[in-house]
Chains A and B, each alone.
Chain A
Amino acid sequence: MKGARAGRRRLSRDERLAYMLLLPALGAVFVIVTIPFVLVIIQSISAEDGTLVGFRNYSRALANPLLYDAIRATGVYSLIVLPTEILLGLTFALLVHRTVRPQGLRAAIYVLAILPLVVPPVAIGVVGRLVYAPSYGVLNVILERIGFVHHEVNWLGDPTLAMLAVASVDIWQWTPFVYLVLFSGLQTVPRESVEAAQIDGADWWAQFRYIDLFYLRPLFLLIVFFRLADVLRVFDHVFILTGGGPGTTTQLLSLYMYRVEFKYFDSGQAAALAVLVLVSFSILYRLISRALPLERT
């Protein structure tokens, strides 16, 4: 802006318009975001009857072994889901990029990959039930027909299997997302460098290691950011599929907090948990967002 050097000049008409539009909108959003935050802090240091109790709710929340079960379950879930989705997504992106040439087929794969991304997680949970549930679950039916197992496997009743079942649903829904992001990243690899490498006799691994990976690297960060944000808030399909059980083995953090507030009606402890989660997530966000390849101007 040429006029900007004039120092303490008056705002131009356009600038005034900009602030007139921004202030009410941002102000409203700011208030809507801030009020709950203030309320939850007050709630977290109060007892049920409204008297202030200091940090008692926090110490109760932190002393509850169920919290650590929930954190462990969330950790296990993330450690199963994130690497699997990234590896599978990468494999398929490379596979389609290198071997599928017809544009029509690529477009068809594209549409199929988009499909699970827009299906409501609740419906995905229903699909999971139809696959894993006892008596009608189709996985048992198929395994019995081909003689793989002889009596029903209780997929949702065994702690390890239940976690795997819940994770498999996430992998089913979100691997295509990783695929789509990495596939579109592969399209930006310049053809000349690939051809030059091929002339130099680079095999497919060398091509991937030294060329493709260079272009994909920023995208991995992006995928981890968005997937982590989603994985840490997972609720819907687990709620439908196992409800957190058996026991508390699939009770992820959000299911645990839901239970504290709406099943045990312990709103003091729930508020303390909410504050703890908000604070630790914003620290996590600070750490990750710095590395993101986003435009900063």
Chain B
Amino acid sequence: MRGAVSRAILLRTALAVLALGTAGVLYGFPLYWLFVTSLKSKAELFASSVHLVPHNPTLAAYSSVLIERGFWVLLKNSVIVCFSTVVVTLVLGLLITYPITRLPVPPRLRVNILIWALSLRFLPPIAVVIPYFAIVRTLQIYDQPIALIGIYSLFNLPFAIWMLKGFLEEIPLELEDAALVDGANRWIAFWRVLLPLAAPGVMAAGIIVFTFAWSEFLFALILTATPNSQTFPVGVQGLVTQFEIIWNDMAASGVIAMTLPLVLMVIGRRYIVAGLTFGVIREK
């Protein structure tokens, strides 16, 4: 009896390991291939057979992308755009979530704001970019970072509102009340008491907004034209759709594009799922 049970458990574990292992390989291999391709030299790409392991790994493709093609400028644009987006989104987000979580506002208003923010999540970017494109040209901010910052902030605001709301709600009202009784005004209570306590959450929201803005491609493709404001994903796309495809440069640009989000993810990993589901799913 006991032997049968443990054999069944053993079998089940073996099957589970097999399934997870297969999934792991299927998952990892494309990324491995991206990385390996980025390390190949041009000569190796023109070899008669495709090598699954690079014979003479080199960083040539990276310097080709960043320096010879001048993509470091796009990288800089991306950082500027994303960082500004984070600042604008967080300030707007706090301006909206602070009153609805800490101050006496009618519950209906609060719910309507939240539901409205959620509805923005369903807004299809392509339908918005068509009129936004006309506005951007009228305002003469076409091919300027500010055009991207504006639209990115708008599209990330719903996330920020829902996440910040979740974090602010967790902080007991009594802590601020105590500060107010001690003679602090609302601003000081916010700045000295609430914000330090909410800092991890605000940071997490910032990291997620940064990652999303970093990945954005459609708006950047449409609203930029030159290295003056093009972001990195637009550069990657340029390498893919050009006439002669240079695999190692393309792969290197892919690796560069995913490096920063992956590093940030290590810091903000506990909040990613919360962010993607508007804080409905909370990790412990």
Give chain A's interface residues, CB within 8 Å of chain B.
Answer: 1, 12, 14-15, 17-19, 21-22, 24-26, 28-29, 32-33, 35-37, 39-40, 43, 92, 95-96, 98-100, 109-112, 114-123, 125-131, 133, 136, 138, 141, 172, 177, 180-181, 184-185, 219, 222, 226, 229, 232-233, 235-236, 239-240, 243, 253-254, 257-258, 261-262, 267, 270-271, 273-275, 277-278, 281-282, 284-285, 289, 293-294, 296-297
Contact = CB atoms under 8 A, between A and B. Distances in A.
Q: How large is the interface on B (under 10, 10 to 19, 20 to 34, 35 or more residues)?
A: 35 or more
Nearest to A14: B103
Main secondary structure of the interface of A (DSSP, over half): helix
A281 B123 contact: yes
B273 A126 contact: no
Q: Which 4 A-B pairs have the closest CB atoms?
A: A120-B215, A126-B254, A36-B131, A18-B99
Contacts of B265: 114-115, 118
Contacts of A284: 122
A113 B147 CA distance: 33
B3 interface: no
Contact of B103 (A17, A29, A129, A289): A17
Interface string B149-161: 0100010010000
B118 interface: yes
Contacts of B50: 136, 138, 141
Given A141-B52, A232-B124, A233-B125, A271 B130 contact: yes
Contacts of A258: 126, 218, 222
A118 B124 contact: no
Given A15-B104, A96-B20, 17 more contacts: A21-B96, A21-B103, A36-B131, A112-B24, A126-B254, A130-B33, A181-B281, A184-B273, A184-B281, A229-B121, A235-B218, A261-B133, A271-B131, A274-B128, A274-B131, A281-B127, A289-B122
B27 interface: yes
5 contacts: A19-B105, A39-B134, A100-B16, A118-B272, A181-B281
A195 B13 CA distance: 20
B241 interface: yes
B104 A29 contact: no
A14 to B, nearest CB: 5
A99 to B, nearest CB: 4
A92 B233 CA distance: 31
B32 to A, nearest CB: 9
B280 A222 contact: yes
B280 A297 contact: no
B23 A92 contact: yes
A112 B133 CA distance: 38
Interface string B127-153: 110111111000000000000001000
